[in-house]
Amino acid sequence: METWDAIRARRNVRQYRPEPVSEADLNRIAEAGWRAPSAKNRQPWDFVIVTDRAQLQELSTVWQGAGHIASAAAAIALVVPQPPSERRKVTDQYDAGQATMAMMLAATDLGIGTGHSSVGDQDKARAILGVPDGYLVAYLLGIGYPADRPLAPIRKPNRRPFAEVVHQGRW
């Protein structure tokens, strides 16, 4: 798939077919996150790839919007260090967001759906994943083949009108 088509086809997938995603594809998706840009090239992230069904079920309980993780073929947890300052918190969140989007686009390119989630219960998420103290599980990314329809460019996305969003030179 061309990059522009992957951008137009990417959507949040929260219902997945039961088949697994190959280790090679999961590693390619994680590599896209690993290659994402970061402030001062700090690369504050670690990624935990989860495919164990019981572990996915447990992860689905760490946030009210994480229910889709239970039925995903896999999930990638994005882990960042506990920020020493508000500024570092902001840059690490931005960097984790860039890594997330890179992984979403790589998955879309492979015909694999993704759905992101925040993490509310940090202690539980760290325990499930074996993440040491001093780190936060920033986000979860559910991964699997879409149950409803394949990924294809969306002709009329549910977005605010382009002319309302994009301003030229001034607001």
Tell me the per-residue pLDDT of 10-45, one tens digit each, with 9 for 90 and over: 999 999 999 999 999 999 999 999 999 999 999 999
- Partners of residue 74 on adjacent β-strands: 143
Rg, the chain, Cα only = 16
Q: Is the pTM of this model over 0.85?
A: yes
Give the model's confidence band at 5: pLDDT under 50 very low, under 70 low, under 90 confident, else very high: very high
According to the model, what pLDDT value does residue 53 have? Answer: 98
Give the model's confidence band at 127: pLDDT under 50 very low, under 70 low, under 90 confident, else very high: very high
Q: Which of 27, 29, 24 is nearest to 113 (CA)?
A: 29
Kindly list the distances between the CA atom of residue 105 and the CA atoms of 33, 60, 71, in Å, as whole numbers in the listed order: 10, 23, 21
Q: What would the pLDDT profile of 140-154 be if each residue is shown by its tens digit?
A: 999 999 999 999 999
Ordered structural domains, the chain, with CATH: 3-164 (3.40.109.10)
Q: Residues with Cβ < 8 Å from 30, sequence gap 6 or more?
A: 47, 49, 76, 103
Torsion region of 130: left, alpha or beta (phi above 0 gives left; psi -120 to 50 gives alpha) = left
Q: What would the pLDDT profile of 65-100 be if each residue is shown by its tens digit?
A: 999 999 999 999 999 999 999 999 999 999 999 999
State percent of the chain over pLDDT 70.
Answer: 100
Q: Is the per-residue pLDDT at 8 higher than 80?
A: yes
For residues 2 and 73, give the distance between their C-alpha atoms in angstroms, rounded to a whole number.
25
According to the model, what pLDDT value does residue 1 have? Answer: 75
- Partners of residue 80 on adjacent β-strands: 136
Q: What are the structure tokens assigned to 9, written together?
A: 């086809």
Edge-to-edge strand ranges of the sheet holding 135-144: 46-50, 74-81, 135-144, 113-118
3-state helix, strand, coil in the chain (%, to 5): 40, 20, 40
According to the model, what pLDDT value does residue 148 have? Answer: 95
Q: What is the mean pLDDT of residues 98-125?
A: 98
Which contiguous run of DSSP H or E holds residue 136?
A: strand 135-144
For residues 56 and 69, give the distance between their C-alpha atoms in angstroms, rounded to a whole number.
6
